[in-house]
Amino acid sequence: MRWSRALIPTLKEDPADAEVASHRLMIRAGLLRPVARGVYTYLPLLLRSIRKVSRIIREELDRMGAVELLPPILHPAELWQETGRWDLYGPLMMRVTDRHDREYALGPTHEEIVTDLIRREVRSYRQLPLSVYQIQTKYRDEIRPRFGVMRAREFLMKDAYSFDADEASMADTYQKFHDAYCAIFDRCELGYRAVEAEAGEIGGTVNHEFMVLAGTGESAILSCAACGYGAASERAESAQRDHELPDGHQLAPLEVVDTPGKTTVDEVSQLLGKPADSFVKTLLFETDGKTIAALVRGDREINESKLRRLLAVERVEMAEPDRVKEVTGAEVGFAGPHTLPDTVRIIADYSLAGHGNLVAGANQTDRHVTGLEIGRDVEPEEWADVSLAVEGDPCPQCRQPLKETRGIEVGHIFQLGTKYSVAMNATFLDESGSPVPFEMCSYGIGVTRVIAAAIEQNHDDRGIIWPVAIAPYEVEVIPLNMDSEVVVQTAEHIYDACQAVDLEVLLDDRADRAGSKFADADLIGVPWRVVVGDRGVEEGVVEVASRRDAETATVAPNEVAAYLRDRIQPARHGGG
RNA sequence: CGGGGCGUAGCGCAGUUUGGUAGCGCACCUGCUUUGGGAGCAGGGGGUCGCCGGUUCAAAUCCGGCCGCCCCGACCA
């Protein structure tokens, strides 16, 4: 391809509204242009990379026995109503109405569509296991789209769905996808790790997120260097701790203090001059008509998912203000654990273990208490891990301190079990001829996000540094002087020769000066560069350089194609 | 949706406080010179100043409403 015909609109200056490197570089290097909030045109360079990543995905999934199909983007409401997700998904789903007033969604994910297909077409255990996938545009009306294609409202996703006859088989399929995902991300040359995660809206129990490690990532990961444990922060557990006060701890007297109008930990902390970690945050929840008081340390956040799992319930809700008043006898903001009615079940988070002389709400409006001692003033029904884990918490497996890193979620795989098959009555006949619901899993990769993540991990202050396996072009030929016939002819010759040995080559045939061609080449980040200048051509050589390491080789024009082929072909599979 | 900021040429910005002829850099077009790290000179094209309404002799500038975009929070590939 010739640059002059390739539509590569590079920019000299950074766009004002791009915050992270990948977004900035995608705009500047002419990969991406915004059309609406969170909606983009993928320009030719980006599309070429998308095709490379898609191809890697297809090769790995085909290899493990999945089959590609293409369901619609437009989903009739009825299918989503079968699983209840028409309402549950809420405003995250883009909805449209046709001329007959029938409602549709623009698919944010495809469990319903695929389950519907399989329940119609698959009848027998003999047809299982079965895995299908698609690579297609998805729509999610995100609360806050940002960072370019990193969190867009329209994006390209590979999603896959597996159907198995029993749980053991399902776990086996899940592992195969897990391994295929590792192969895919390895080949894209991403530095990543798979961690335990929350299932969110999709549902199910066991699931893993594939996180590309990057400082600008939106997700936090807690991991343990000692034993290898790793989990998304909202999923990470911390080890059990016993409530043993430090040696020499003097039990403090319980005193009521006035704290008029101060309802938050921060406000009371300032007023009393006591640090937030000496506070008890008393959070009231309701589930099945019962009230639960969850006690977490003042500097910690509750993790409602943990609470839900502990209580073995589908949902917990923060108690309404009226209910809070009824239970505590005070306005919201002054709840404390020590004078709650017996009907309230008290759960203390491990973060409070070993802490005494605490500040808490007094269960009286405008008053708190100091000197609260757990075990003396309040006896929790149980101690548990119900707070959001943070760096330094003890690892649930080996008790070593957890470390926090940031990551970009590029893949997420879920064991769904029979959640969707039961809801949609999707069954097959087993060996005895009785109908059994499918054991399902679903698997997602954000294709466009993979590319953004790759750029986050592979760039410098001059531009992108593409790994060969996903680069839009492999070679860029730069004739430095378009007025020099011999330079142009040599460049054209190399361009043809590279194409003849099946290299993906871009020829910068623009009449620009050397400096701006070099700057653009650095910016778009093609892995190999061939510089053809008057000086070298007179001596019968051109320069071949890689974008990643500044090494330059002088090569005879006739040998350039073979030279590059020998270096590029081994790297195409990933690892170069 | 709540909090903060911004909408002026394709991109990056000044001008708005104190109303009075719409500007700068880059990009683009023409010519000449230049040609190994974003060239120089000369000439040129391009803007209903986000939209609607109001105040005024006069509005990018003041007032009201609306729209869009970005950042911080709850979601997620």
CA angle A480, A482, A488 (to 5 degrees): 85
Alpha-carbon separation of residue A157 from A109, A200, A444 (angstroms): 9, 18, 7
Distance A219 CA to B10 C1' (A): 35
A495-507 pLDDT per residue, tens: 999 999 999 999 9
In the prediction, which pLDDT does A378 show?
A: 93
Strand B at less than 7 A from CB of A50: no
Distance A86 CA to B3 C1' (A): 31
Q: Residues with Cβ < 8 Å from A273, sequence gap 6 or more?
A: none
To which residue do tokens 């330094």 refer? A392
- A window 397-416: Cβ near strand B (< 7 A): 409-412
In the prediction, which pLDDT does A321 show?
A: 83
Distance A552 CA to B27 C1' (A): 32
Distance A484 CA to B36 C1' (A): 14
- A window 530-559: Cβ near strand B (< 7 A): 531, 533-536, 543
Strand B at less than 7 A from CB of A51: no
Instruction: Please report the beta strands in A438-565, taking only residues with DSSP state E, as ranges in sequence order.
Output: 439-446, 459-460, 463-464, 475-479, 505-507, 528-532, 542-546, 552-555
- How many Å apart are CA A47 and CA A49, to the nearest integer? 5
Distance A381 CA to B72 C1' (A): 38
Scanning every strand, the nucleotide with its C1' closest to A463's CA turns out to be B38
In the prediction, which pLDDT does A3 show?
A: 95
Strand B at less than 7 A from CB of A516: yes
Strand B at less than 7 A from CB of A442: no
Q: Which of A115, A114, A159 is nearest to A140 (CA)?
A: A159
- A window 248-307: Cβ near strand B (< 7 A): none
DSSP H/E element including A27 = helix A21-28
C-beta separation of A335 from A324 below 8 A: yes
- A window 99-158: Cβ near strand B (< 7 A): 109, 140, 142-147, 149-152, 155, 157
Strand B at less than 7 A from CB of A421: no
- How many Å apart are CA A417 and CA A246, to the nearest integer? 46
- A window 12-31: Cβ near strand B (< 7 A): 12-17, 19
In this prediction, the residues of chain A whose per-residue pLDDT falls under 70 are 200-204, 575-576
Scanning every strand, the nucleotide with its C1' closest to A37's CA turns out to be B69
Scanning every strand, the nucleotide with its C1' closest to A219's CA turns out to be B76
Distance A47 CA to B34 C1' (A): 37
Distance A445 CA to B21 C1' (A): 58
Scanning every strand, the nucleotide with its C1' closest to A520's CA turns out to be B38
Beta bridge partner(s), residue A282? A295
In the prediction, which pLDDT does A57 show?
A: 98
A361-399 pLDDT per residue, tens: 999 999 999 999 999 999 999 999 999 899 999 999 999
Strand B at less than 7 A from CB of A88: no
Distance A2 CA to B49 C1' (A): 39
Give the residue with minimal CA–C1' separation from B72: A144
- A window 325-384: Cβ near strand B (< 7 A): none
Distance from CA of residue A538 to its chain's centroid?
Answer: 53
Give the residue with minimal CA–C1' separation from B6: A17
In the prediction, which pLDDT does A202 show?
A: 66
Which nucleotides of strand B lie within 7 A of protein CB? 1, 11-13, 25-27, 34-39, 68-77
C-beta separation of A315 from A308 below 8 A: yes
